[in-house]
Amino acid sequence: MIYGTMLLDTDMELFVAALSQTPVLVWQLNEHDMYVHVDSGIILKFAPDYVQIRSVHGLKHVACYPRDHCEFSVRLAGGQRTI
């Protein structure tokens, strides 16, 4: 778990984040096996093998991230779940 965030593990958690348009953080392992933040945005679509994000870098920037190599989380507000 990334400190200050809630990991989105299940399809239901990803669905709720997508439906509520909650900004999602995308984390990926680097060469030292440490998770680094690689993107943020709104979930447009998800499937068993990937999550498609509309990045905060612009409305036209859309990226797909593999679920088996990335983690997705939302920021916690005051120790509470945000979704």
Could you write out the DSSP letters of every residue in 23-68? Answer: -EEEEEE-TTS-EEEEEEEEEEEE-SSEEEEEETT-TT-EEEEETT
- Spatial contact of 23 and 40, defined as CB atoms under 8 Å apart: yes
Kindly state whether residue 69 falls inside one of the protein's structural domains. Answer: yes
State how many domains the chain has. Answer: 1
pTM of the model: 0.84
CATH of the domain at 39: 2.30.30.100
**Residue whose tokens read 């965030």:** 5
> Tens digits of per-residue pLDDT, 16-72?
999 999 999 999 989 998 889 999 999 999 999 999 999 987 667 899 999 999 999
Kindly state whether residue 56 falls inside one of the protein's structural domains. Answer: yes
Residue 56: per-residue pLDDT: 82
Kindly state whether residue 80 falls inside one of the protein's structural domains. Answer: no
- Spatial contact of 54 and 63, defined as CB atoms under 8 Å apart: no
